[in-house]
Amino acid sequence: MNELNQFIDGPPSPSNYIFVPHNFQLVAGNLSRFPVGNGCLHAAQKDNRYYVVRVISVGGQGRNNLHILRLLSTNSPDNLLSNNHILPIVTEIVYQDIHFAVFPKVGPRIQVAMMPLVQKSTVEDIVYIIMQALEAVIYIHGKSVAHRDLFMDNFLLEWSPQSLLGQNWTRPRVYLIDFETAVHFSSDVHPSDRLTSGLPFPDATYQRKRAPELLGSEPYCPFQLDMWQFGFHLMQMFSTTGIAGIDSLWPPLMSENPADRPTAQEIFQTLGDLISTVPPKSLQKGYECDPIII
């Protein structure tokens, strides 16, 4: 391990969180690299398994993030449910007023897997990935948690299937991460009152594309904001597959009127119905896009 703690010699031991796809063995070379995004992340290993250590709270700041992570990923039996796609906390570390969480290292972001010039994914690969991502959204919304940063780069994969290089019949599991902007409503709050206001991050540092409701100062529904954000990269990167039933799903997610946006459950059902009716061969093809990565 070098002084930056970002490189490790040799592949890791099996962890059930990251895999090497059989059709793209060069991925093994990337397993020794840790893509540490900022100073709040740190790469680590124990028993030759790879982890990411993240600062969750300092002093009183970030306690809401910790509460939501515990709610979604540590409570039994929910942490055993197949539709719970929250990347779990392996352990917590407390040093003075700093609270760290240790997570398993996972593979690429969905956003990367969706880049046809970078990854050789088929329409089928991405459709099944999106289905799992929708399961994750359905799960957190069912727990009265809205993410508020639900772009595709906050979903991780165990591996990128890249079935254009050779059909991958097994499906990588999808994990949802980064809950620092999330909000949780208690069960005694009526659904019509589950509103919030303001930007997910301070205005000076918020570089994301802004949904219409973020342009004003009025309270808004964060669950409807989630669906707009979920649709953003799908519109940018997966709306020209040539399959009308797929391409037509995403524009309503970005409706100007938040009330017109479908829920995750509605999109999940519609996409599932489509998969069950179209010939599988029609999905086993590549696609093109000109993504704008924001």
- Domain ranges (residues) in the chain: 27-104, 110-282
* pLDDT class of 105 with cuts at 50, 70, 90: confident
For residue 125, give both structure tokens.
Answer: 């690969």
For residue 103, give both structure tokens.
Answer: 């997570």
d(C-alpha 199, C-alpha 69), whole Å: 21
Candidates 244, 247, 79; CA nearest to 175 is 79
Q: What is the pLDDT of residues 126-181, one digit of tens each?
A: 999 999 999 999 999 999 999 999 999 999 999 899 999 988 888 999 999 999 99
27-104 CATH fold:
Phosphorylase Kinase; domain 1 (3.30.200)
In this prediction, residue 121 carries a pLDDT of: 93
Q: Who's near 80: CB < 8 A, 6+ residues apart?
A: none
As to burial, measured by CB atoms within 10 angstroms (0-12 exposed, 13-18 middle, 19+ buried), residue 124 is buried
For residue 19, give both structure tokens.
Answer: 């895999």
User: With a threshold of 0.85, does the pTM exceed it?
Assistant: yes
In this prediction, residue 291 carries a pLDDT of: 59
Element (H, E) at 92: strand 91-95
For residue 204, give both structure tokens.
Answer: 């000076």
d(C-alpha 258, C-alpha 189), whole Å: 20
Residue pair 113/240 in contact by the 8 Å Cβ criterion: no
Q: What are the φ and ψ backbone dihedral angles of 153, each rounded to 5 degrees?
A: -80, 0
Q: Per-residue pLDDT averaged across 226-238, rounded?
A: 96
Least confident of 21-35, 84-98, 129-143, 164-178: 21-35
* pLDDT class of 2 with cuts at 50, 70, 90: very low
> What residue type is assigned to position 291 of the chain?
P
Decide: helix, strand or coil at residue 76.
Answer: coil
**Residue environment code for 171-206, b if the CB has 16+ CB neighbours within 10 A, otherwise e:** bbbbbbbbbbbbbbbeeeeeeeebebeeebeeeeee
If one compares 14 and 235, the residue with the highest pLDDT of the two is: 235
Is 1.10.510.10 the CATH classification of the domain at 110-282? yes
